[in-house]
Amino acid sequence: MTIEFLRELGLKLLCLSNGHGEDAIALRILRELQQHPHPPELAVFPLVGEGQAFAQLENARIIGPVQRMPSGGFIYMDGREFLRDVKGGLIQLTIAQFKTIRAWVRSQQQSGNQDGVILACGDIVPLLFAWLSGAPYAFVGTAKSEYYLRDEEGPLARKSRAFGWWGWSPRSVYLPWERWLMTRSRCRAVFARDALTAETLQKLGIPAYNLGNPMMDGLEPENPAGFYGPDAEFREMERSLVITLLPGSRAPEAYANWLLIVEAVAGILSLFADRKLLFFGAISPELNLEALRPSLEFFGWRQDGEIRTQRREGSILRPPVSSAQEIRKESPNLLLPLTFVQRNATMILTQQSFNDCLYEADLAIAMAGTATEQFVGLGKPAIAIPGNGPQFTPAFAEAQSRLLGPSLILVKHPAEVAAAVQSLLRDPDRLQLIAENGWRRMGEPGAAARIAECLIQRFGGESSNSQLPPIH
């Protein structure tokens, strides 16, 4: 079948995803597919949660039942969360979802369209459903990386029981049954999240591609600051040390994480008493900013009533208008940032301008998943404090430190963060190593467009044994 034939008949693609982060990655790829000169007809099916991200996608309907589970999708972190989901109807939902997928494939065949294909985004669950569907499929492996087990120098020491299952699979982070699903003839492509993983899978006969990580797409700053000029060196010496705070997005866990982060910030204020400090709290729109105020006031922060409009350190607070009332009048849906001050420091809490929070910062205190990975992918260090979960537990933090390597510094207690910051700033060679490590592990922007183009080629009739792209 050729691309010319697809112009007449049209490719039909069903995207399966299983989680909030997976939905976001799938959304980026699907948007790029819609920009293709001959876009496929799209349908989506979020297997975990309600798939709210796909509301942003035009002309792509959700084909079956969706339901928010009690765990929020973090059943891998705690067996008790899995039991809660079972009691909440997980098994019945899974059966209904499988029947819906099979019905979608049959409907394509009965309508005379043999081009119904599936894009599975996430882990083994959508991958298994894709295989069971009977349709050709591709897989975006968001959950696993060889970096969990090894780096470029060799195997990593195991520090957690969380890696016990992977002992079954010494050749790859993917277990034998996962690799079996990837080697089926109907599996046309596997998009690994990094070069190390793609290279390992290719050696095992899997059609793996290293086209980058869609997490790094769309992170350009909304309000880029002008850093360069005749006084750039002076401004660099005089500017604030900028630290972004990432507490995660899921309540009530994020509020507990925030308390630990604010405690860590108190230590930084004491150690860096002679330097201007600027903290950006990148807060999910799903959280309540007012709920963060008590912990700040407990640690001595007071709210600053001014609305700052300076271009450098106030870039995330624009548009530059004179009053909060004026902002609300012009943009009634705009969530205003809150500004707090203490001694030599300013803290800005914002539920917008996430990209600016990442780009403006020198480093981060992070207790998040995807946001931490994106920050590291920009070549910057993050310091993590394990929390009580259900997501950001000690086991999760240790796994994330394997994934991100030297770019993520784990501490056991908030009081240790300030010394970790000081150690980083005193070691420019280490900062350069961290930058290169982050860029290598997370890849360059533009992955979604590259994956979309590859999907069109692989499902558009190119031979299944066509040469794979080289590892970069």
Check if the beta carbon of residue 21 is closer than 8 Å to that of residue 370: yes
Residue among 283, 295, 327 nearest 308 (CA): 327
Q: How many CB atoms lie within 10 A of CB 322?
A: 9
State residue 317's pLDDT score.
40
Query: d(Cα 306, Cα 336) in Å, to the nearest integer?
Result: 12
Q: 69-79 burial, b for 16+ CB within 10 Å, e for fewer?
A: bebbbbbbbbe
Residue 341 is given by DSSP the state: E
Query: d(Cα 25, Cα 28) in Å, to the nearest integer?
Result: 5
State residue 465's pLDDT score.
39
State residue 157's pLDDT score.
83
Residue 54 is given by DSSP the state: G
**Residue 19 predicted with pLDDT over 60:** yes
Q: How far apart are the first and last CA of the chain?
A: 30
Residues 319-362: pLDDT tens digits?
333 334 443 443 344 445 899 999 999 999 999 889 999 999 99
Query: d(Cα 360, Cα 363) in Å, to the nearest integer?
Result: 9
Question: What are the structure tokens assigned to 62, written together?
Answer: 């959700």
**Residue 164 predicted with pLDDT over 70:** no
Residue 7 is given by DSSP the state: H
Residue among 219, 464, 457 nearest 361 (CA): 219
User: 456 CB contacts (<8 Å, ≥6 apart)?
Assistant: 3, 11, 33, 36, 38, 40
User: 462 CB contacts (<8 Å, ≥6 apart)?
Assistant: none
Question: What are the structure tokens assigned to 249, written together?
Answer: 């997005």
Ramachandran angles phi, psi of 188, nearest 5°: -85, -25
Residue among 9, 14, 11, 18 nearest 43 (CA): 14
**One-letter amino acid for residue 156 of the chain:** L
Query: d(Cα 463, Cα 465) in Å, to the nearest integer?
Result: 5
Q: How confident is the model at residue 278 (pLDDT cuts 50, 70, 90)?
A: very high
Residues 88-135: pLDDT tens digits?
667 888 888 899 999 999 988 877 666 699 999 999 999 999 999 999
The β-bridge relationship of strands 208-209 and 154-155 is unpaired
State residue 425's pLDDT score.
97
State residue 234's pLDDT score.
46
Query: d(Cα 186, Cα 377) in Å, to the nearest integer?
Result: 33
Query: d(Cα 153, Cα 323) in Å, to the nearest integer?
Result: 55
Check if the beta carbon of residue 384 is closer than 8 Å to that of residue 368: no
Query: d(Cα 143, Cα 68) in Å, to the nearest integer?
Result: 20
Give the C-alpha distances (Å, rounded to integers) separating 273 from 31, 225, 234, 266.
47, 26, 20, 11
Check if the beta carbon of residue 121 is closer than 8 Å to that of residue 29: yes
State residue 385's pLDDT score.
97
Which neighbouring-strand residues pair with 13? 42, 117
Ramachandran angles phi, psi of 103, nearest 5°: -65, -40
- 150-177 mean pLDDT: 76
Angle at the Cα of 58 from the Cα atoms of 53 and 64, rounded to 5 degrees = 65
